[in-house]
Amino acid sequence: MIIKKLKVDDKTFPFDPQKTLITSKVNSVGKTSLLRMLLYSLGYKIPSTKGLNFNKMYFITEININKIDYEFFRHNDNLKINNITNKSSDVFSVKAQQIEILSILYTTDSLEILKNILGTHYFDQEKGWTLLNRGLVIGKIRFNIEELLTGFNSKELADTNNHLKNLIKEKNDYLKIKPLLELNRGFDPSTVTDRDIDIDVLHDRLRSNNIEIRKTKNRISQYKQVKNDNQHFIDLIDNLAIRIKTKTGIQVIKKNDIVGFNENQELILAQISRLNRYLNQLNDIKFNLNKKINSSMSLVKLDSQLDHFKASIHNLNITPESIELIVKDYNYEINHTKEQIKKSLYNLKVTEKIFFRVKKYASILGVEDMLDNNTTFLLTDNLKRYSGAKLHLLVFAYRLALLKEIQNTTGECIPLVIDSPMAGELDEDNLSKMFQLLNTEFSNNQIIIASIFDINKITPINKIITLDKGVLK
């Protein structure tokens, strides 16, 4: 994949197929904004930066994916993708169809990979350098190592993962019920008055009456249609001048020759008249019911409907304490299922492959000593032991190792988007190691960097975009 250029409103930013540096002499002039606009233009739900509203802007991105040229047109929630090579186009809603958009962008239909792939090739200046295996990439976009590893072996773990999702959903449903039960403590169902019940009866009668009104109107319409069709038929006979042979000779049939036509039409009119009288009665009933309901509602206390709702809850025969026991059982089953998934992930061939790749990359960056000696490191929860420049480098090695596996799976190189690589305690020597890793292991990847530091001192840059007065000025 190669991002060729991005157009934001009337301003165009071309990118080099190899390395592009977005830089400035001072901070806060739009370097981060430009990177986020780029991701936003490709269909991601990226939050706007200060002073800008991405939803009001128009974006056009020219991109080559798997040797096919595309144009992505985005404005607010709408994204149109033109396949320039095959001369076709599709329009998507980002909110409703983001996964479909990402499947075109990344050439895979694995849901687990698509949901986590951004965390492997985008390093955000705020969260990107401390995000190891779980957490936020940017905005509300999350990264989860268990889910991503499942994506590499989705068939083997699909049933277990679906079971886990169902357990979590059911548990959450019970937790939503508990506050309602707490609200109901000490409630006496006998406090629900007959007036509350009468109102419900009136509403039921009104609903039934409205259904009968609709049915009656439909029957009237049907009779009117039959009457009109009959008249059309009789007029047609007159116009056609149909001739028949009789004992006395040839005779032309006229509408007056049709026996019983007028009587039949009168019967239909009688039915219509009867139904109209019935409809008037129904409308009178509707009027009176609405009048009674409005009168009753004006006399009902404001809290009476809440009491009626509490009475319904009371009839469930379930307590907050029983909910706590149910949730406890769910927690046990959820934790047990998670452990099953972890054990399965530890034993996957792809997990072992990624672990040794992390070790290789960590060795290039000089932080191999921070790794545990087995694949359990990939799923570690003990992140407090990592900090500073070493965490920065470990995160870089870890997520690049995952990106390499995704590229091996899809067969497509994915652009690396790196914001502020010298954030935190990182020095020039560490930055040099990072680009040594990129130049060695990701030489075919497009790399787009935003930094105030002159990266040219570390590695050759093919194109430089300098922002002095702001990203759109």
Strands ordered across the beta sheet of 19-23: 122-123, 416-419, 447-450, 19-23, 463-466
Rounded CA gap, 133 and 400, in Å? 12
Q: What is the pLDDT of residue 237?
A: 83
How many H-runs (helices) and E-runs (strands) does the chain carry?
13, 15
Pairing of strands 249-252, 243-246: antiparallel
Run of H or E residues at 23: strand 19-23
Angle at alpha carbon of residue 455, lines to 454 and 457, rounded to 5°? 80
Token digits of residue 242: 């149909």
Torsions phi, psi for 410 (to 5 deg): -90, -20
**Residue 302 has what pLDDT?**
46
Task: Report the pLDDT value the prediction gives residue 429, as an integer from 0 to 100.
Answer: 93
CA-to-CA separations, 3 to 7, 19, 39, 73, in angstroms, rounded: 12, 11, 11, 14
Q: Is the distance from CB of 416 to CB of 446 less than 8 angstroms? A: yes
Block mean pLDDT (10 aa), the chain, length 473: 96 97 91 96 94 95 96 97 95 95 95 95 90 94 92 77 90 87 64 58 88 92 90 84 82 82 89 92 91 70 57 70 90 92 87 95 94 88 83 95 96 96 85 96 97 93 92 84
Q: Are the C-beta atoms of residues 472 and 9 closer than 8 Å to each other?
A: yes
Strand duo 19-23 + 463-466: pairing: parallel
Domains of the chain: 2-142+413-466 (3.40.50.300), 189-316 (1.10.287)
Residues 321, 185: contact at Cβ < 8 Å? no
Q: Where are the alpha helices (DSSP H) in 300-420?
A: 304-314, 320-346, 349-365, 388-410
Residue 253 CA from chain centroid, whole number: 69
Evaluate whether 413 touches 407 at the Cβ level (below 8 Å): yes
In sequence order, what DSSP letters do the residues of 56-124 get, joined into one string?
GSEEEEEEEETTEEEEEEEETTEEEEEETTTTEEEEEEHHHHHHHHHHHHHT---HHHHHHTHHHHEE-
Phi, psi of 10 (to 5 degrees): -105, 5
What's the rounded Cα separation, in Å, for the pair 220 and 274?
9
SS3 8: strand
- For the record, the structure tokens of 215 come out as 């049915």
Whole-number Å distance between alpha carbons of 324 and 321: 5
